[in-house]
Amino acid sequence: MIKPDAMRNGHAGAIIDRFIKEGFRIVALKQTKLSQEKAGEFYAVHKERPFYGELVEFMSSGVIIAAILEKENAVTAFRELIGATNPAQAAEGTIRKLYATSVGENAVHGSDSDENAKIEGSFFFSGLEQF
Ligand code: ATP
Ligand code: MG
């Protein structure tokens, strides 16, 4: 997912270009906006964390781009490409280092396991939207 901060700051094109250049195949892609309810559902695993309210507020604050990306070892490769959650700790050249503003507004989301990637993919896309 490309988060609302990166959308507002005009980085969506550069970020998608990076996905493609790093060898990810686009299986599905769309712009949409999460309601507070949907954002809360998406990040439900973090419900007990102190930043949950802020996270839900931010993730529903503007449009996002959702994508399903395919590559060998995609989860690991993608997390390497986006960098650490906190951009201050992200490696040089990673998407979060280049485009994120803060730990809360950190430009992109990546799934943390193949299992969650499946769940998150079907959160946004029907079978007819995946190629
Ligand atoms: P994501 O799941 O969005 O890809 P991540 O896996 O790197 O990020 P998580 O620990 O899953 O990090 O946290 C989910 C999101 O919650 C983070 O991307 C960030 O937007 C927000 N978040 C995490 N830690 C903090 C924090 N300490 N303060 C504010 N927001 C935070
Ligand atoms: Mg996560």
CA of 111 to the centre of ligand 2 (A): 6
Answer yes or no: 109 catalytic.
yes
Share of the chain above pLDDT 90, in %: 100
Considering the chain, what is the average pLDDT of its residues?
98
pTM over cut 0.75: yes
Atom of ligand 1 nearest to the CA of 45: 11
Q: Which ligand is nearest to the CA of 56?
A: 1
Any ligand 1 atom below 6 A from CB of 60: no
Domains of the chain, first to last: 4-79+108-124 (3.30.70.141)
User: What is the full DSSP assignment across 41-102?
Assistant: HHTGGGTTSTTHHHHHHHHTSSEEEEEEEE-TTHHHHHHHHH--SSGGGSPTTSHHHHH--S
CA of 43 to the centre of ligand 2 (A): 8
DSSP state of 128: G
